Amino acid sequence: MDNAIVSTQESAVHEAHEHVSLPQHRHHFETEEQQREAGSFGMWLFLLTEIMFFGGLFFSYLLYRNWYYPAFAAASNQLNVPMGAANTAILITSGFFMALGVWAAEMRKRQMLVWMLVLTTVFGCAFIGVKYFEYKEKYELHHIPGANFSVAMFVNPQNYPQYPDTYSEKPLAPDMAQKTQVFFFLYFAMTGMHALHMIIGIGLLFWLTWRAWRGDFSSGYVAPIENFGLYWHFVDIVWLFLFPLLYLINRHPLH
Amino acid sequence: MSAHTIVSLPDQSTAKLPKVNYLNNEHGLLSWLLTGDHKRIAMLYLVSITFFFFIGGAFAGLIRLELLTPQSDLVAADTYNKFFTMHGIIMVFLFLVPSVPATIGNFLIPIMVGAKDLAFPKINLLSWYLYVIGGTLTLAALVLGGVDTGWTFTTPLSTHYLNTHVLTAATAIFVAGFSSIFTGLNFIVTIHRMRAPGMTWFRMPLFVWSHYAASLLMVLGTPVLAIAIVLVALERIFGIGVFDPAKGGDPLLFQHLFWFYSHPAVYIMILPGMGVISEVISTFSRKRVFGYTAVAFSSVAIALFGFFVWAHHMFIMGVSNYSALVFSLLTMLVAVPSAIKIFNWAFTLQKGSITFETPMLYAFGFMGLFTIGGLTGVFLGSLGMDIHLTETYFIVAHFHFVMVGGMLMAFLAGVHFWWPKMTGRMYPESLSKLAAVTTFIGFNLTFLPQFILGYMGMPRRYAAYPPEYQVLNVLSTAGATVLGVGYMLPLLYLAWSLKYGAIAGNNPWQATGLEWQIQSPPLTENFTEIPIVDYEAYDYERLEKMTKNEVTTVG
């Protein structure tokens, strides 16, 4: 019964608000609806530019993967699938809380929105943390392109009994093994660009959390939350393409 | 005939400058630097792109001076490389790409669709600041010692062999690219979401259509340039080998990514100019644009085809024969929608009441020069010819006919056409006609010899050349001087007209667009009330009736 009363009160609030102009309504829009539609349309277009931006990297990856297939298959076997899978789960969870946050904003639940944004941030940071350990592992194995890069693991896998994945690998010819460096260039460029988007997103999340806590989004003005949600889901989706492309395809059976 | 001519303008003799308009409703530098008004941002853009145009033009002048004699005697060869690189970077990224859209488009698109402003005024202002930052970085690269990669940043030259300020210039282009992305994004959202009641897609002026098509290209193409630049930067800083053959990378990949933007960029530059020409031709022949729908869709078709021709820049650089064949075919296909436009403008002129005001002279210049530029593009698109002509002065002449003969003419046509609307004042008509004719003559004198030089085999981007090419080079340099005068004149008399020009009135050309039905200069929010559009674009009969009714009510 209590619930029923609350919900009618809420709808009454909705009614009242429809006739009051929000302070965030900008003068050059005829209606708030128009403003909201324009905002989300603009966000979708921005995401389209992001797709084109990442598209250049994906195109390079596909091209070189096609050219240097053995090197790419061997190098991708060096990536840490459990960590990548964990990160996928972390990111999907973060996206789930973001979606709940958008819902909370639309329902004008201030406290829930703040909590959801905090949880989104926590899981976003967890992703970056896991990524740090992955990068660290690559550093220790001399798989970071540059002067320190070593193809030893790909030319003489039999010397690495401590890494079962590597040990069972067929050795690559030295010139093909050099091409694993191209894989790692692209691996760092693509995951690095993705991580940069995550970090920008986390920065924005701090700002939005502060605004949500202040109550900016508790009176029906939810465009920033919705549009940020779109951005955050987009960053998730990029990872959902990166993970299989970099870690999973043509992977040898796990030991 | 006389009913249609616009010699005696009814409202111009009694016109007064409106007391309140977007120029004077706020004062002080900050009111300009923090403005959200699309018209003020357009003026900021106009000033800054003019500044960069003259810097880029100065480099063009230096290039032509060096080429006056066969030896490289004015400057050393590496300095010459820096000259043409600066000329290219400034003219392409800081002048041509933002020229019409960011100034005239910014000013007019909201008015033409009947809105108070662009959808995102703050992003619009941000895009101007990004442009300024990009411009400043370019100037920094110049002052610090220059760049000599050519505006194309071709790898491995730009990544391995040069220690000039490639990174500074690359950052400049990256930043300026985001300025262009934001402009395009703003236009698309505005055109989709902010149209006035009754303003359907097929009632929009063709200017808006062509900007819509160009905006699609900006939004889809520019990010690919951004990633190409990021990869060049990573290659220079960390030595990642994506473009380095020694490490297994492919320098050709850079060219694919670069031209995937930079060929559509050509259409980003020319499409808004085509929009200007549609408006001008229609107004000064007092006729609806012939085949409105075909012209509208040809803009979209150019944008679409424009994305699938980029490899024609690489015919001699090791793309496969099959892809060369396909790209050659697609390149010729772009000529079809471009020709549709030219033919439709010609049919608009047919049986129209043509008058020869300054914007119309520039528009005629555009039609002739763009046709030559476009047709020589078909020469270059055919594989056999391209192998003979590529990297020669024929290429240089071809793209200058399109970019300078086409786009710059269109830009000046637009500036002269809407100057009365932007400032409320007229410029001296005879002087401006002189400038238009001077530009046309100077242009042809500069670039026609270059076609012959290129056909004879003079390569581009060299400071020296065999003495037998000197006569044509001298002609070209002489032409550049005339052209320079042609560009200085508008700067002088337009500045003069700001204070001393005759008051223009609301509609000095008796044009039909929504922008001409409001005061000039317009109010900050453009309209006192949002118009309801229940008529087609370019309806001159309706305008005539409306004017008659106004007279009877006043009388």
Question: Is residue A203 included in any domain, yes or no?
Answer: yes
Q: Judge whether B100 and B407 are in contact, CB under 8 Å.
A: yes
3-state helix, strand and coil shares in percent for chain B, rounded to the nearest 5 = 70, 0, 30
| Sign of the alpha-carbon dihedral angle for A168, A170, A174, A177 | negative
| CA nearest to A50 within chain B | B223
Mean of the pLDDT values across residues A221-227? 93
Partner-chain residue, chosen from B222, B231, B249, that has the shortest CB–CB distance to A182: B249
pLDDT of residue A163: 79
What percentage of residues in chain B have a pLDDT greater than 90? Answer: 83
The crossing angle, in degrees rounded to 10, of helices A110-140 and A81-106 is: 160
**If we measure between CA atoms, which residue out of B100, B97, B352 comes closest to residue B225?**
B97
The answer to whether the CB of A155 falls within 8 A of the CB of A178 is no
Residues of B in contact with A59 (CB under 8 A): 256-257
Q: Tell me B289's DSSP state.
A: P
Which of B111, B116, B240 should one mutate to test binding to chain A, selecting the residue with the greatest count of A CBs within 10 A? B240
Of A28, A55, A59, the CB nearest to B525: A28
Cα radius of gyration (chain B): 23
pLDDT of residue A10: 42
HSE of A92 in the Cβ direction (CA atoms, 13 Å)? 9
What is the structure's pLDDT at A22? 64
- What confidence tens digit (pLDDT) does each residue in B341-370 have? 999 999 999 999 999 999 999 999 999 999
Closest residue in chain A to residue B117, using alpha carbons only: A28
Dihedral of alpha carbons B81, B82, B87, B90, sign: positive
- Under 8 Å between Cβ of B421 and B515: yes
CB contacts of A34 in chain B (<8 Å) are 193-194
CB atoms within 10 A of CB A23: 8
**CA B208 – CA B106 distance, rounded (Å):** 11
pLDDT tens for residues B126-153? Answer: 999 999 999 999 999 999 998 999 999 9
pLDDT exceeding 70 applies to what percent of chain A? 89
Torsion sign over Cα A109, A110, A116, A117:
positive
Q: What type of residue is B229?
A: I
What value does the mean pLDDT of chain B take? 92
Nearest to B421 by CA among B10, B6, B22, B19: B22
Q: Evaluate the CA torsion angle B170, B171, B176, B177 in order and state its sign.
A: positive
Is position A197 within any domain?
A: yes
Quickly list DSSP for B145-210.
T---STTTT-TTIIIII--SSHHHHHHHHHHHHHHHHHHHHHHHHHHHH-PPTT--GGGS-HHHHH
CATH number at residue A163: 1.20.120.80
DSSP 8-state code for residue A105: H
Helices (H), chain A: 2-19, 32-67, 69-76, 81-106, 110-140, 152-155, 164-167, 174-178, 180-214, 223-243
CA B275 to chain centre: 10
Residue A153 or B55, more confident:
B55
| Residue A97 within any structural domain of the chain | yes
Please tell me the total count of domains within chain A: 1
A146 in B contact zone (CB under 8 Å)? yes
Q: Which residues of B touch A144 (CB under 8 A)?
A: none
Q: From CA B473, how far away is CA B28, in angstroms rounded?
A: 48
* Residue B425 three-state SS: strand
A54 touches chain B (CB under 8 A): yes
Whole-number Å distance between alpha carbons of B333 and B302: 9
pLDDT digits 0-9 by tens, B91-127: 999 999 999 999 999 999 999 999 999 999 999 999 9
Q: CA torsion sign, B36 to B40 to B42 to B46? A: negative
pLDDT for the residue B11:
56
Beta-carbon separation of B530 and A30 below 8 A: yes
pLDDT at B202: 95
The answer to whether the beta carbons of residues B309 and B334 sit under 8 Å apart is yes
> In B, which residues are within 8 Å of A37 by CB distance?
193
pLDDT class for A188, splitting at 50, 70, 90?
very high
Is residue B553's pLDDT more than 50?
A: no
The alpha carbon of residue B193 is apart from the nearest alpha carbon of chain A, in Å, by: 6
Cα of first residue to Cα of last residue in chain B, in angstroms, is 25
Instruction: Please name every residue paired with B459 in a beta bridge, in sequence order, or none if there are none.
Output: B392
pLDDT of residue B551: 56
> Tens digits of per-residue pLDDT, B540-551?
998 888 877 765
Q: Which 8-state DSSP code applies to residue B249? A: -
Residue A86 forms part of a structural domain:
yes
Q: What is the pLDDT of residues B477-534, one digit of tens each?
A: 999 999 999 999 999 999 999 999 999 888 999 999 999 999 989 999 899 889 999 9
The identity of residue B246, as a single letter, is: A
* Residue A4: partners with Cβ closer than 8 Å, 6 or more residues away: none
Q: Chain A: residue nearest B174 by CA?
A: A53
Peptide bond into A224 cis (omega under 30): no
Q: CB-based burial of residue B216 (10 Å sphere; 0-12 exposed, 13-18 middle, 19+ buried)?
A: buried
- Calculate how close chain B gets to A249, using CA atoms only, in Å: 21
Q: What is the pLDDT of residue B465?
A: 95
The residue in chain A having the minimum alpha-carbon distance to the alpha carbon of residue B116 is: A28
Query: How far apart are the CA of A149 and the nearest CA of chain B, in angstroms?
Result: 11
DSSP 3-state of B488? helix
Instruction: Tell whether A15 is covered by a domain.
Output: no
pLDDT per position as a tens digit, A74-84: 898 889 899 99
Query: What beta strand segments (E) does B228-365 contain?
Result: none
Beta bridge partners of B523: B526
Q: Give the closest-approach CA distance of B554 to chain A in angstroms.
A: 32
**pLDDT number for residue A250:** 75
Per-residue model confidence as pLDDT tens digits over A108-148: 999 999 999 999 999 999 999 999 999 999 999 888 887 78
What is the model's pLDDT at position A253?
54
**Interatomic CA distance for residues B374 and B265, integer angstroms:** 15
C-alpha span between B273 and B254 (Å, rounded): 29
CB B406 within 8 A of CB B341: no
* Banded model confidence at residue B12, pLDDT cuts 50, 70, 90: low
pLDDT in tens, B364-392: 999 999 999 999 999 999 998 999 999 99
Q: Kindly compute the dihedral angle of the four CA atoms of residues A186, A192, A198, A199, in this order, to the nearest 10 degrees.
A: -160
Residue A20 lies in a domain: no
Amino acid at B96: L
Local confidence band at B244 (pLDDT 50, 70, 90 cut-offs): confident
Which among B119, B193, B257 has CB closest to A56? B257
C-alpha triplet A52, A53, A54: angle, nearest 5°? 95
Res. B245: pLDDT tops 70: yes
B30-54 confidence digits (pLDDT tens): 999 999 999 999 999 999 999 999 9
Listed residue (B410, B150, B151) closest to B271, CA to CA: B410
Minimal-distance CA residue of chain B relative to A34: B193
The pLDDT assigned to B296 comes to: 96
- List the one residue out of A236, A237, A233, A231 whose CA is nearest residue A39: A231
Q: Which domains, and CATH codes, for chain B?
A: 29-554 (1.20.210.10)
Contact A181 B247 (CB under 8 A): yes
The stretch A206-232 carries a mean pLDDT of 93
Which of chain A's residues have a Cβ under 8 Å away from the Cβ of B123? 42
Residue A5 is assigned to a structural domain of this protein: no
The parent domain of residue A45 ranges over 31-248
* CA distance to partner chain A, nearest, from residue B187 (Å): 10
User: If DSSP codes are grouped into helix, strand and coil, which group holds residue B462?
Assistant: coil
CB A26 within 8 A of CB A35: yes
A45 touching chain B per CB within 8 A: yes
* pLDDT for residue B550: 66
DSSP A31: S
Instruction: Identify from A26, A67, A139, A185 which residue to disrupt to test chain B contact, counting B C-beta atoms within 10 A and taking the largest count.
Output: A185
Q: Which tens digits make up the pLDDT trace of A146-164?
A: 778 888 888 888 888 887 7
**Of B120, B221, B257, which is closest to A42 when you measure between CB atoms?**
B120
Interface test with chain A among B113, B126, B227, by most A beta carbons within 10 Å: B227
Cα–Cα separations (whole angstroms), residue B31 to B22, B28, B35, B36, B44: 11, 5, 6, 9, 12
CA distance B227 to B354: 48
| Chain A residues touching B240 at Cβ < 8 A | 145, 185, 188-189
> Strand, helix or coil at B422?
helix
Q: What is the mean pLDDT of residues B271-291?
A: 96
Minimal CA separation from A56 to chain B, in Å: 6
pLDDT at A255 over 50: no
Instruction: Examine the pLDDT at A222 and tell me if it is beyond 80.
Output: yes
Nearest-neighbour CA in chain B from A3: distance (Å): 39
CA distance B11 to chain A (A): 30
For residue A3, what pLDDT is reported? 42
- Cis amide prior to B156 (ω within 30 degrees): yes
CA–CA distance, A206 with B168 (Å, rounded to integer) = 32
* Contact at CB, B240 and A27, closer than 8 angstroms: no
- List chain A residues with CB under 8 Å of B41: none
Q: Which of A189, A173, A177, A170 is nearest to A71 (CA)?
A: A177
B528: Cβ contacts below 8 Å, ≥ 6 apart: none
Cα–Cα nearest to B181, from A229, A193, A47, A238: A47
Inform me whether the pLDDT recorded for B555 exceeds 50: no
**Which pLDDT does position B160 carry in this prediction?**
84
Q: What does the DSSP 8-state code read for residue B509?
A: T
List residues of B whose CB lies inside 8 A of any A CB: 115-117, 119-121, 123, 181, 185-186, 188-190, 192-194, 219-224, 226-228, 230-231, 234, 238-242, 247-250, 253, 256-257, 260, 525, 530
What integer pLDDT is reported at residue A8 of this predicted model? 41
Query: How far is the CA of B50 from the CAs of A38, A172, B91, B132, B301, in angstroms?
Result: 32, 58, 11, 13, 31
Structural domain includes residue A8:
no
- Do the Cβ atoms of A49 and B181 come within 8 Å? yes
| d(CA B188, nearest CA chain A) in Å | 8
